[in-house]
């Protein structure tokens, strides 16, 4: 297994390190436009493999030719949010970056799975799929995995229980319009709506929706990277180990939930063949209304990106 990580910033470097720690690949290629950065970080990581008892080989480079025949490509490159910025503010610059990076990677790895992390994520997933021409089974975004991780973390904090007992699900676009499904959320099998008052649960959902912004506000000069990187690696592991995990990923819908062409997060089965199945939940009127709003926002942003990039 050969895995390429595009972008040697905080997210990309953390993704590469965790993949190597878990020995999910024989070789990890860390690529970035900045000369010396991926080489230095890659060498530093490789030297840590002896301590971690991992045989994964890590290479840092600026040359896409060294990514040839990758099985999985993870797109992390892009500008990070600054305080006061929304994910959509990054649209123009990051769309151009993703178009160039994915196009370069696809030239050498046309049969790879492409996992998108760059923001605004759902739109960047659309851009990557258009650039490669690959189906939604091979090009998908990380959004819902991260959103759900934040949501479940806040529930664990609220109740003071093990985070391992919390199971939740978030649909829709990666951003303020995401749709936390409290009706499908459980703690050790107990419906969360039986454990947390409705008004407090709504506050937790809002915090999850603004989870990235909260971290940006704290950091001032950067954005979240540990949770996004870990979320991406969970997706990688599901593919590499053929785990058939049910994870909320951003994909292009083909009629599911009543939408065709929209790119948003929905639960899918992720295994050795990428997205192997889309799970369509029976939503109530409130949940469907929230999802309609989220899909509308993402679709409008995609249309803007199509005009800007002449796609």
Q: Based on the structure, what is the number of domains in the chain? A: 2
Identify whether residues 264 and 210 lie together within a single domain: yes
Identify whether residues 123 and 6 lie together within a single domain: yes
What is the domain extent for residue 25?
Answer: 2-143
Identify whether residues 133 and 34 lie together within a single domain: yes
Identify whether residues 256 and 150 lie together within a single domain: yes
Domain boundary among 94, 114, 143: 143
Identify whether residues 164 and 291 lie together within a single domain: yes
What's the predicted TM-score (pTM) here? 0.94
Catalytic residue among 81, 130, 138, 174: 174
Identify whether residues 169 and 155 lie together within a single domain: yes
Which residues contact residue 209 at a Cβ distance below 8 angstroms, ignoring those fewer than 6 apart? 147, 175, 176, 177, 178, 180
> What CATH number has the domain bearing residue 12?
3.40.50.720
Helix (H) or strand (E) holding 27: strand 27-31
> What CATH number has the domain bearing residue 211?
3.90.110.10
Dihedral over Cα of 111, 16, 126, 93: its sign: negative
Identify whether residues 212 and 165 lie together within a single domain: yes
Domain boundary among 143, 165, 184: 143
Residue 50 annotated in active site: no
Per-residue pLDDT of the chain (311 residues), as tens digits, is: 999 999 999 999 999 999 999 999 999 999 999 999 999 999 999 999 999 999 999 999 999 999 999 999 999 998 876 667 665 677 888 998 999 999 999 999 999 999 999 988 999 999 999 999 999 999 999 989 999 999 999 999 999 999 999 999 999 998 888 999 999 999 999 999 999 999 999 999 999 999 998 998 999 888 899 999 999 999 999 999 999 999 999 999 999 999 999 999 999 999 999 999 999 999 999 999 999 999 999 999 898 888 877 77
Evaluate whether 203 touches 301 at the Cβ level (below 8 Å).
no
């Amino acid at each position: 297994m050969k895995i390429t990580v595009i972008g040697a910033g905080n997210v990309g470097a953390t993704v590469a390190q965790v993949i190597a720690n878990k020995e999910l690949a024989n070789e990890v290629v860390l690529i970035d436009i900045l000369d010396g950065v991926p080489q230095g970080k890659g060498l530093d990581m490789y030297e840590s493999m002896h301590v971690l008892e991992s045989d994964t080989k890590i290479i840092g480079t600026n040359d896409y030719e060294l990514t040839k025949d990758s099985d999985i490509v993870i797109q992390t490159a892009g500008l990070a949010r600054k305080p006061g910025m929304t994910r959509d503010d990054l649209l123009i610059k990051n769309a151009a970056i993703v178009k160039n990076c994915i196009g370069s990677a696809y030239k050498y790895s046309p049969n790879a799975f492409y996992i998108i992390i760059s923001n605004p994520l759902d739109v960047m997933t659309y851009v990557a799929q258009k650039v490669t021409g690959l189906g939604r089974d091979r090009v998908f975004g990380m959004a819902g995995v991260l959103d759900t991780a934040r949501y479940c973390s806040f529930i664990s904090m609220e109740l003071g229980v093990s985070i391992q007992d919390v199971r939740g699900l978030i649909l829709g676009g990666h951003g303020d319009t995401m749709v936390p499904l409290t009706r499908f959320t459980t703690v050790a099998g107990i419906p969360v709506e039986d454990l947390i008052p409705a008004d407090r649960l709504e506050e937790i959902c809002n915090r999850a929706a603004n989870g990235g912004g909260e971290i940006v506000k704290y950091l001032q000069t950067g954005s979240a990277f540990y949770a996004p990187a870990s979320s991406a690696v969970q997706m990688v592991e599901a593919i590499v180990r053929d785990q058939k995990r049910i994870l909320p990923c951003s994909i292009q819908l083909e009629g599911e939930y009543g939408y065709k062409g929209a790119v948003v997060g929905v639960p899918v089965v992720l295994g050795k063949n990428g997205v192997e199945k889309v799970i369509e939940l029976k939503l109530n009127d409130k949940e469907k209304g929230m999802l309609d709003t989220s899909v509308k926002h993402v679709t409008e942003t995609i249309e803007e990106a199509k005009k800007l990039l002449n796609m």
